[in-house]
Amino acid sequence: MIAFILRRLLQSIAVLLAVGLVAFSLFRYVGDPINAMVGQDTTMEQREELRTKLGLNDPAPIQFLRFLSNAARGNFGLSYRTSEPVGRLIVERMPATLELSFCAALFALFVGVPMGVYTGLYPKHWSSRLLQAVSLIGISLPTFLIGILLILVFAVYLHWLPSFGRGQTVQIGWWTTNFLTISGLKALILPSITLGLFQLTLLMRLVRSEMLEVMRTDYIKFARARGLTNRAINFGHALKNTLVPVITVTGLQLGALIAFAIVTETVFAWPGVGQLFIQSVQFSDIPVMAAYLLLIGLLFVLINLTVDLLYFAVDPRLRSQTGGPRMAGH
């Protein structure tokens, strides 16, 4: 098991190096950073001087190593747009995105999984068929459309919930949170639903098909023959056996929630990193883009590592001494 974790860690580092290389090459190949920094009346000599001063004339591998060692220390340079340190920009924005993604994930998990269990247990009931049909809408409507529709109904017509922003937030150290004020919580509802709806339908459909599969197995029939209660069978024996694929998908989707919160954040003017990224793209603010890229890479790697460890917790067959888990996919 320890060998397996070490191997995974090495793989993670390799992935991060690759992401780092891509982020680094942004600097070299997406426009000339000097042009973005200086005014039009700067002479060629001044530009060359600045270039040397910033180390842009050094060989590429040395620049890459310098970039990596800076990044490892959380130093991503200054934003071209605001001249603030990129690290600080991202740290300021990160809590908003993390809280939004967290709520969306909770929404997807705690609504999607029970719905999947229900539709898996009673596949022929009319309400299961209805949920199945509705989930098709959830899976095929684009996120921005759902967001705009929700705003139209709950903010414009009903005036129940705010249509943009985070509402009032409370500062705890460097972390700003929505969870401690009523307006903050209210502001979370619509964006969370918008962001989580796709994942919810995905999870529901996944759990449903896994449940249908598991309910046909001999050990479920044998559990019935042992006279176990329906509760123990459905939520103990059956649901647990659907968990490995559900954990995989949830993990990947959590990464996706954070990375692709961009659209939702844009629709709801949510001051998170996604919005920061969009603004940076418009401005070719390469240090921010590179840092964002690395950050998302890091998140995905961490989530995957957690998912792999969760497999061990769920499935005793993977805990055997010989080698790591056999997994399909990644």
Partner 1 sequence: MASPSNNPPLLEVKNLRVEFPTRRGTLLAVDDVSFDIAPGEVLGVVGESGAGKSLTGNAIIGLLEPPGRIAGGEVKLEGRRIDNLPYEEMRKIRGHRIGAIFQDPLTSLNPLYSIGRQLVETIQTHLPLSGSQARKRALDLLKEVGIPGAENRIDHYPHQFSGGMRQRVVIALALCADPRLIVADEPTTALDVSIQAQIIALLKKLCREHQTAVMLVTHDMGVIAETADRVAVMYAGRIAEIGPVRDVVKQAKHPYTKGLMGSIPSLGVRHDRLTQIDGAMPRLTEIPPGCAFNPRCTFRGQRCLVERPNLMAAGASRAACWLHDRGGVGAPVAKELVDA
**Residues at the interface with partner 1 (CB under 8 A):** 217-219, 221-230, 232, 236-237, 240-241, 314-317, 320
CA-CA distance, 248 to 246, in Å (whole number)?
5
CB of 163 to partner 1, least distance (A): 45
Query: 142 burial class (0-12, 13-18, 19+ CB within 10 angstroms)?
Result: exposed
Q: How far, CA to CA in Å, does 38 sit from each of 26, 34, 42, 314, 319? A: 19, 6, 7, 56, 58
CB of 114 to partner 1, least distance (A): 20
Read off the DSSP letter of residue 260.
T
CB of 212 to partner 1, least distance (A): 14
Report the SS3 class of residue 177: strand
CB of 206 to partner 1, least distance (A): 18
Output 7 or 224, the one with its CB closest to partner 1.
224
CB of 313 to partner 1, least distance (A): 11
Angle at 269 between CA 268 and CA 275, to 5 degrees: 115
Output 151 or 318, the one with its CB closest to partner 1.
318
Output 39 or 316, the one with its CB closest to partner 1.
316
CB of 229 to partner 1, least distance (A): 7
Are 80 and 169 a contacting pair, CB within 8 Å? no
**Which amino acid is located at 247 in the chain?**
I
Output 223 or 259, the one with its CB closest to partner 1.
223
CA-CA distance, 185 to 90, in Å (whole number)?
22
CA-CA distance, 271 to 157, in Å (whole number)?
24
Output 144 or 219, the one with its CB closest to partner 1.
219
CB of 224 to partner 1, least distance (A): 6
Output 113 or 294, the one with its CB closest to partner 1.
113
Least Cα distance to 104 among 259, 232, 226 occurs for 259
Output 38 or 314, the one with its CB closest to partner 1.
314
Are 294 and 71 a contacting pair, CB within 8 Å? yes
